[in-house]
Amino acid sequence: MTDNLDGTTPAKGVSAIAPKEGGGFPNPGLPPHVHRQADTDKRAEKRAEKIVAGMFVLSILGTVLFIASYFVFTPMDTNLLAEGGTLRAVFWSNLFTGLGLAIAVFFIGAAAVHWAKTLMPDDEMVEERHATRSSDESRDRAVEIITGGLQESGIARRPVIVTAMVGALAALPIAVLAPLSTLGPLPGNKLHHTFWKPGMRLTRDHDGTPIRADEVAMNSIFHVMPEGLTEETPHFLNERAKAAAVIVRIDPAIGKNEESLANGHQGILAFSKICTHVGCPVALYEQQTHHMLCPCHQSTFDVTDAAKVIFGPAHRPLPQLPIEVDAEGYLVATGDFPEPIGPSFWDLHKDK
Amino acid sequence: MTTTTPSSQKQDAQPGRVARLGAVGGDWLDQRTAGGGLVKFLGRKIFPDHWSFMFGEVALYSFVILLVSGTFLTMFFVPSMDEVVYDGVYGPMQGAHMSRAFESTLHLSFEVKGGLLFRQMHHWAALVFMVAIFVHMFRVFFTGAFRKPRELNWLVGFSLMVLGMVAGFSGYSLPDDVLSGNGLRVVDGLMKGIPIVGTYLSMLLFGGEFPGHDIIPRLFTIHILLVPAAILGLIAIHLTLLVLSKHTHYPGPGRTDRNVVGFPVFPVYAAKAGGFFFLVFGIITLISATTAINAVWIYGPYDPSPVSAGSQPDWYMLWTDGGLRLIPGWEFTIFGYVISLNILLPMAIYGGLLAFLALYPFLEAWVTGDDREHHVLDLPYNNPVRTGLGVAWITIYLILALGATNDLIALKLHLSINDLTWLFRVSIFVAPVLVFYITKRLCIAMQRHKRGLALHGVETSKVVRMPNGEMLEIHEPLNEYDRWVLVQHDDFRPLKAGKGVSALRAKATSFFFKDYISPVTPAELREALDHAAHEKHEIDAVTGGDYTVPSAKVGH
Amino acid sequence: MKALAARRHHPMALLVILLLALVATGGLYAAFQPRTAQAETYTADDIQQGEALFLANCATCHGRSGEGLQDADGNTLGPSLIGVGAAAVDFQVGTGRMPMENSGAQAWRKPPQMNEEQTRQLSAYVASLGPGPSLPDEQYLDPANGDATKGGEIFRINCAMCHNAAGAGGALTRGKFAPTLDGVEPKHVYEAMETGPQNMPVFNDDNLTAQDKNDVIAYLHALEENGSPGGLSLGSLGPVTEGLYAWTIILSLLTACAVWLGAKAK
């Protein structure tokens, strides 16, 4: 049992296969064939035939249902069970066209399989295998072709060409880098700055209205964007992706970080909404524990302690947006985030 | 090729009009394509029949359904991030700003006849495609079908699995909804975490900063051209190698490493496999008609500010999210540069898991030193260590996937998400070891049981008490066909270091085979049969050869 | 008409019209102005009945005059209810969260223990303890008065991260969770935003106006109305349940077909 199909012994060295005593048991060969009902019983054969034909007919009915549904259960116009142009109409359209198609295709398959199982011959047949490797003659001829071809090309005799060729083939892939580089700009200092500028008002994310400090109730959260960041702003979504922030209000007495409180206004603190792990919006705020949770990977930040990470995969605290109150009582930023927002990257700490 | 043709069932064919037409058409084609040779080569090729061989076909057929339904979708989908104002039938979006991609997805879902059905079929087929690939891979792994000469085809299949993940993820992101958009944002974050080149890669992929204006059209090209073309090419190689090596078969009487036992392609296998395509098609259609998938209108058009609780990728990407949830916040700054271990470590683990899968055939071949061609499959319990390793791999994969769903588990089972995270953090180290050991012991127990079965046959529940008080159960010996399945497998032993065997390999063979239960040898069987014959003689002496109702007969 | 037309020429006419316009605007403003003061009028009897109910059902945790209690270790048994307003009581008692069965990470929604009248009396009593948010105005609870599209935007930005985009609920830290919004009455949705029960942040009218809240109610209503056009929604929990479905139901169907196909016919 330790030799190859072609009778040669393995050339790989010592193997962990233990030879079997006396070559092991002899293979008893195929067991005797057992006939099916349809092979011996004419009635069973007829029954099988009827079932197969019946399933094909069922498939035709499915096709009819499919085509009919396309006209009587449409999403927008005629629909027997709902008003066109509603989601109920879409539901019935999807259901009936789908069921029609499912019946149409499924029963073609079921009929074919049942046919093969019951009426086509079920004698097991044997096909010989041969070793996968090509014959010695083929191999010799292949070696001959390759060595001969290499000789004809003169590759061994012309080292200059070979060197130049290797050089050319090595240089070409570098050329690929050029078109690749046109796929996008260099990072530059883009990741280090956001839309926030000193004096910019904090506005409600959903309607762009500015927020007065006295509107921020204890234990509330506001999702904010900088004033003036509108759909007309160039790279609108890119700017939103970086500027997104939240403001929360805590009792300054429970604040654990003086610097963080100083960057806020009477316990109103503004933090970047973008997780410092891989960049999901954080924002699941628990008003009693003052924890902010990221729904993607569960990083948890403590807003009473400068949004320090207290659980999960993030490492850096959420950058805090320094804020104050302007003459009209509105909250304004006194500058950009002190460090890059969002996921950490290689040269995060470099000034740019 | 020697093919035994069945003696029965031969119909005497009257050359009718259809047959004559076929002959003319066949002649016409053959003169132009030499198709006759192909029919001769493939027509009576033998394929073994077993339900577990069908999952590769499920994958193939889901891919066909993906191509068909995907083509329909491209007729209506617009891969553009230009902003539009929605004015379609979906009320709660009317007047909302969104990308063309999202708007066209709503349009094809709600306003195009059959659009939602095709979209759901496409998405369900994608999930089934990946399910089938994994089940197929597990089948191949646990039966040792990856052994020589099929190592390369294992690699091709492995690449198809990876490409399937890429295809799935790129397609999942196309509708430009909040859920998939946050998925892309995670990808952006992962790329940025790569040392030195990370931010550059992110800028190249997104054509600037995230999310930019290019990513949807780019993913579209990747999704409908690049990846499907690669998958098609690899499928061609996969099937060519399959035909070349012929299919493996399970151990059974008459089946050897030098033959293949089964049914001919034409007509039986063509009908079964062809029919199976329609069955798969039917089931996916039925599911799509009745079960919603990826209701993007609920997630809303992508905007960087919102996020939904329960944000997860499709199932085949779950495991890549799990590591990101379980890793603690490890991040270091060295010489002013950031090393994000909370990103790099999970990625390294994913790479390791994939590498193990890809390289396992070579690892096992190195351990056993087995250079033979294998066409008869292993029964999983006959290779306890391989089976244990496979189940351990699945355990790690599963824990990562469960880790990625910790918020949903917490929500539905009313548990603490923090406790769950800790549970998974610990079990990712403990569970695989435990599961490996348990699986291995279970396999060995099964081997022992099967060994006993081969030696002593089946228990008949007829018990005889001998004069000396000993209770004997009468065993019915197996017939040689049934016994063959239990005794045909290889025997292995650990190697000693030295004589061309390195200490490492000796250790590896010991790890694999030190508890290996050898198959029954003919000598052992002879002895067992002798013993049984002796016992039978004694029993006959007690019962007079009639032990139909032994308990009633036995006495002093 | 004639008389009016004639008088319009009078120099006083402009003043009268201006005055009328002012009154109308003021009236409209008053009508649409979100009310933070007591909207519902409670009688002294309501308050008295409410106090009796309070002492019987709530005082063990919240203190005999709603001042809140702590146990010996300084853990809060029940928070102070002074200033939480009628809206908070109506939400907590009306959704059955209070009285609480046993202390845990979070109070659960369950069938209310108090009937509507008792809830009203309790609200009256707690509202009398100190000024707080009153019950919402009916007009802001009618989905027909809200803009579902705007509500959708507000919902996705302010609510979906905890309650899930489909309102299916989501997990918070340490066993806390944001409950599902399926089947929650508009009144309770409004009150929850107004008062911020448990760990939910407060979204009072200074954050989301009454109209904003009405829009959210309209959006949730539209979600419920629209149902799931694609068929079974699988709990609207997203890709995980879809994957589970593929691995269980669909794989079983496919395997059944494969087994049938591979089995030898009788």
pLDDT of residue A247: 94
pLDDT of residue C245: 96
Q: Domain C136-229: which topology?
A: Cytochrome Bc1 Complex; Chain D, domain 2 (1.10.760)
pLDDT of residue B282: 97
Domain that holds residue A42: 37-118
Residues of chain A found within 8 Å of residue C176, distances taken between Cβ atoms: 286
Looking at the structure, do residues A224 and A317 belong to the same domain, yes or no? yes
Share of chain A above pLDDT 70, in %: 97
Share of chain B above pLDDT 90, in %: 82
pLDDT of residue C23: 59
Domain that holds residue B252: 48-301+311-316
Residue A342 forms part of a structural domain? no
Band of pLDDT at residue C11, cut at 50, 70 and 90:
low
Residue C39, amino acid: A
Q: Each residue of B96-150: pLDDT tens digit?
A: 999 999 999 999 999 999 999 999 999 999 999 999 999 999 999 999 999 999 9
User: CB distance from C170 to chain A under 8 Å?
Assistant: yes
Residues of chain A found within 8 Å of residue B109, distances taken between Cβ atoms: 90
Band of pLDDT at residue B539, cut at 50, 70 and 90:
confident
Residue C84 has pLDDT above 70, yes or no: yes
Residue of B203, B254, B417 lying closest to A187 (CB–CB): B203
Q: How many domains does chain B have?
A: 2
DSSP A41-105: -HHHHHHHHHHHHHHHHHHHHHHHHHHHHHHHB-SSS-BSSS-TTSHHHHHHHHHHHHHHHHHHH
Looking at the structure, do residues A206 and A323 belong to the same domain, yes or no? yes
Residues of chain B found within 8 Å of residue A105, distances taken between Cβ atoms: 278, 281-282, 285
Tell me the shortest Cα–Cα distance from C254 to chain B, in angstroms: 7
Residue B260, amino acid: V
Q: Is C257 annotated as a binding residue?
A: no
Look at A33 and A12; give whichever has higher pLDDT.
A33
Residue B309 has pLDDT above 80, yes or no: yes
Range with lowest mean pLDDT among B63-77, B302-316, C19-33: C19-33
CA distance A141 to A131: 18
The verdict on a CB contact (< 8 Å) between A313 and B406 is no
Residue A236 has pLDDT above 50, yes or no: yes
Over chain B, what is the mean pLDDT? 91
Neighbours of chain A (3+ CB pairs under 8 A): B, C
Band of pLDDT at residue C152, cut at 50, 70 and 90:
very high
Residue A166 forms part of a structural domain? no
User: Looking at A99, A118, A137, which one is the last position of a domain?
Assistant: A118
A·C CB contacts under 8 A: 96
Looking at the structure, do residues A195 and A108 belong to the same domain, yes or no? no
Residue of A118, A205, A286 lying closest to C173 (CB–CB): A286
**Mean pLDDT, range C229-248, rounded to an integer:** 93
CA distance B507 to B427: 27
Q: Each residue of B213-260: pLDDT tens digit?
A: 999 999 999 999 999 999 999 999 999 999 999 999 999 999 999 999
Residue B9 has pLDDT above 70, yes or no: no
CA distance B98 to B82: 8
User: CB distance from A49 to chain C under 8 Å?
Assistant: no
3-state secondary structure B484-503: HHHHCCCEECCCCCECCECH
Residues of chain B found within 8 Å of residue C178, distances taken between Cβ atoms: 309
CA distance A241 to A340: 12
Range with lowest mean pLDDT among B144-148, B276-280, B393-397, C95-99: C95-99
**Mean pLDDT, range C193-197, rounded to an integer:** 90
What CATH number corresponds to the domain at position A296?
2.102.10.10
pLDDT of residue B132: 97
Tell me the shortest Cα–Cα distance from B483 to chain A, in angstroms: 10
User: Looking at A100, A118, A136, which one is the last position of a domain?
Assistant: A118
Q: Is C62 annotated as a binding residue?
A: yes
**Mean pLDDT, range A138-155, rounded to an integer:** 93
What CATH number corresponds to the domain at position B92?
1.20.810.10
Residues of chain B found within 8 Å of residue C161, distances taken between Cβ atoms: 306-309
Tell me the shortest Cα–Cα distance from A289 to chain C, in angstroms: 7
The partner residues of B462 in beta bridges, in order of sequence, read: B474
User: CB distance from A223 to chain C under 8 Å?
Assistant: yes
Range with lowest mean pLDDT among A160-169, A212-221, C76-85: C76-85
pLDDT of residue A166: 95
The verdict on a CB contact (< 8 Å) between A278 and B513 is no
Residue of B261, B418, B522 lying closest to A21 (CB–CB): B522
Q: Each residue of A37-63: pLDDT tens digit?
A: 888 899 999 999 999 999 999 999 999
CA distance B366 to B358: 14
User: Looking at A84, A118, A152, which one is the last position of a domain?
Assistant: A118
Residues of chain C found within 8 Å of residue A293, distances taken between Cβ atoms: 172-173
Check if C38-135 and C136-229 are the same fold.
Answer: yes
**Mean pLDDT, range B378-386, rounded to an integer:** 96
Q: Each residue of A65-88: pLDDT tens digit?
A: 999 999 999 999 899 999 988 999
User: CB distance from B208 to chain A under 8 Å?
Assistant: yes
Neighbours of chain B (3+ CB pairs under 8 A): A, C
Residue of C172, C199, C204 lying closest to A217 (CB–CB): C204
To probe the interface with A, which of B47, B83, B98, B199 has the most A CB atoms within 10 Å? Answer: B199
Could you tell me which chain C residue has the CA closest to the CA of B410?
C171
Q: How many domains does chain A have?
A: 2
Paired sense of beta strands A308-311 and A300-302, if any: antiparallel
CB A352: neighbour CB atoms within 10 A? 12
Could you tell me which chain C residue has the CA closest to the CA of B62?
C254
To probe the interface with B, which of C254, C255, C260, C264 has the most B CB atoms within 10 Å? Answer: C254
pLDDT of residue B536: 78
* Residue A330, SS3 per DSSP: strand
Looking at the structure, do residues A103 and A214 belong to the same domain, yes or no? no
Share of chain C above pLDDT 90, in %: 38
Residue A159 forms part of a structural domain? no
Neighbours of chain C (3+ CB pairs under 8 A): A, B
A187 CB burial (10 A radius; 0-12, 13-18, 19+): buried
Residue A177 forms part of a structural domain? no
Residue B1 has pLDDT above 50, yes or no: no
To probe the interface with C, which of B49, B51, B138, B422 has the most C CB atoms within 10 Å? Answer: B51
Could you tell me which chain B residue has the CA closest to the CA of A308?
B329
Tell me the shortest Cα–Cα distance from C199 to chain B, in angstroms: 15
**Mean pLDDT, range C53-60, rounded to an integer:** 86
pLDDT of residue C10: 59
Residue B14 forms part of a structural domain? no
The candidate with the shortest Cα–Cα distance to C108, out of A297, B13, B46, B414, is B414
- Scan residues 430-459 of B and list those with Cβ closer than 8 Å to A: none
Residue A6 has pLDDT above 70, yes or no: no
| For chain A, the helix, strand and coil percentages under 3-state DSSP, each to the nearest 5 | 40, 15, 45
The verdict on a CB contact (< 8 Å) between C202 and A94 is no
Show the tokens assigned to B373: 């061609």
The partner residues of B82 in beta bridges, in order of sequence, read: none
pLDDT of residue B77: 97
Residue C4 has pLDDT above 90, yes or no: no
pLDDT of residue C36: 44
User: Looking at B283, B316, B349, which one is the last position of a domain?
Assistant: B316
Look at B297 and C72; give whichever has higher pLDDT.
B297
Cis previous bond, B361, omega within 30: no
Band of pLDDT at residue A1, cut at 50, 70 and 90:
very low
Q: Each residue of B331-370: pLDDT tens digit?
A: 999 999 999 999 999 999 999 999 999 999 999 999 999 9
Residues of chain C found within 8 Å of residue A204, distances taken between Cβ atoms: 207
pLDDT of residue C254: 97
**Mean pLDDT, range B36-54, rounded to an integer:** 92
The verdict on a CB contact (< 8 Å) between B418 and C174 is yes
Does C38-135 carry CATH code 3.40.50.450? Answer: no
How far lies B417's CA from each of B177, B325, C153, C157, in Å? 26, 11, 28, 23
Residue A147 forms part of a structural domain? no
Residues of chain C found within 8 Å of residue A91, distances taken between Cβ atoms: 227-231
Could you tell me which chain A residue has the CA closest to the CA of B376?
A129
Band of pLDDT at residue B32, cut at 50, 70 and 90:
very high
CA distance B67 to B79: 18
**Mean pLDDT, range A269-281, rounded to an integer:** 95
The verdict on a CB contact (< 8 Å) between A288 and C266 is no
- Scan residues 179-208 of C and list those with Cβ closer than 8 Å to A: 196, 198-204, 206-207
Residue B18 forms part of a structural domain? no
Residue B244 forms part of a structural domain? yes
Q: Each residue of C13-42: pLDDT tens digit?
A: 555 565 666 555 555 554 444 444 445 678
Residue B375, amino acid: H
pLDDT of residue A18: 87
Paired sense of beta strands C177-178 and A221-226, if any: unpaired
Residue B413 forms part of a structural domain? no
ipTM above 0.90, yes or no: yes
DSSP code, position B222: I
Residue A338 has pLDDT above 50, yes or no: yes
The verdict on a CB contact (< 8 Å) between C196 and A37 is no
- Scan residues 81-110 of C and list those with Cβ closer than 8 Å to B: 105
For chain C, what are the domain ranges?
A: 38-135, 136-229
The verdict on a CB contact (< 8 Å) between B307 and A281 is yes
To probe the interface with C, which of B280, B286, B411 has the most C CB atoms within 10 Å? Answer: B411
The verdict on a CB contact (< 8 Å) between C153 and A220 is no
Could you tell me which chain C residue has the CA closest to the CA of A204?
C207
